[in-house]
């Protein structure tokens, strides 16, 4: 057995020759800290670019509600939504006091309505309901605080539409802040309704639910005498 095969260290005579054209690297070894900083700067620049684009879109109104989904409707125009027919002509505005003596403005969209279906029914009017209003001067919006049917002043005069009857008076009422200043018009939107199952997992009874489309009334405002005294 030779000396090299027995595991002895190779001698200079047995080592491979060095390529005379080889030169050692001239660059400094990579600095992991510097590389990490470079990556952070690049990521930050990308994020700032995205933020700048979003701010520009916001400034140009790109995130505002789509107004093409609302059909501008003249006062007195009859509309059909779901199982209802409505006609709204004006808004009354009156300063009032609440039960705790807090002053507010009651705005009422005045019109007529009826059901075209065959069951006694009334439109919902909460946050997910059929109506919403907006004061274009201040930007304040409100959903109805109540709906009155018939010629009486009390909610007990009727709270639903009866099938087969002609249109009856209806008032959709809103509470606005004491700082509200009556304008010439109030925007009053009646949403289009569809008969759907809106439950989370399905399998429930279908009901009339609002869509993203609606009728955009611009109703003239008539100020009533103050009722805070």
Nearest 10 degrees: CA dihedral of 61, 62, 64, 66?
Answer: 120
Class of domain 69-223: mainly beta
For residue 30, pLDDT beyond 80: no
Give the tokens for residue 80. Answer: 């059909």
Give the tokens for residue 187. Answer: 């925007």
For residue 34, pLDDT beyond 50: yes
123 closest CA partner among 198, 217, 132: 132
> Distance between CA atoms of 180 and 104, rounded to whole angstroms?
8
> Distance between CA atoms of 27 and 195, rounded to whole angstroms?
73
Mean pLDDT of 99-123: 95
Q: What is the mean pLDDT of the chain?
A: 81
pLDDT in tens, 50-70: 555 455 444 444 435 555 699
3-state secondary structure of 209: strand
> Distance between CA atoms of 89 and 219, rounded to whole angstroms?
6
3-state secondary structure of 155: helix
3-state secondary structure of 176: strand
Neighbours of 13 (CB within 10 A): 5
pLDDT value, residue 156: 44
Q: Is 164 left (phi over 0), alpha (psi -120 to 50) or beta?
A: left
Domain coordinates in residue numbering, the chain: 33-61, 69-223
3-state secondary structure of 43: helix
Confidence band for 113, pLDDT divided at 50, 70 and 90: very high
Mean pLDDT of 90-117: 96
């Amino acid at each position: 057995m030779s000396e090299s095969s027995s595991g002895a260290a190779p001698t200079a005579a047995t080592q491979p020759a060095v390529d005379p054209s080889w030169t050692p690297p001239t660059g400094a070894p990579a600095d992991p800290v510097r590389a990490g900083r470079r990556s952070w700067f690049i990521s930050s620049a990308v994020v700032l670019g995205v933020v700048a684009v979003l701010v520009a879109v916001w400034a140009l109104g790109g995130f505002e509600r789509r107004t093409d989904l609302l059909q501008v409707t003249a006062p007195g125009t009859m509309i059909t939504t779901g199982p209802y027919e409505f006609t709204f002509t004006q808004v009354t505005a009156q300063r009032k006091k609440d039960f705790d003596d807090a002053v507010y403005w009651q705005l009422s969209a005045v019109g007529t309505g009826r059901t075209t279906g065959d069951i006694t029914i009334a439109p919902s009017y909460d946050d997910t309901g059929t109506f919403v209003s907006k004061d274009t001067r201040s930007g304040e919006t409100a959903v109805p605080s109540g709906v009155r049917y018939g010629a009486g002043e009390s909610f007990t005069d009727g709270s639903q539409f009866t099938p087969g009857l002609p249109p009856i008076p209806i008032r959709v009422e809103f509470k606005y802040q004491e700082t509200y200043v009556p304008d010439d018009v109030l925007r009053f939107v009646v949403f289009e309704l569809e008969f759907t199952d809106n439950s989370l997992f399905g399998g429930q009874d279908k009901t009339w639910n609002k869509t993203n489309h609606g009728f955009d009334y611009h109703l003239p405002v008539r100020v009533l005498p103050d009722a805070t005294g």
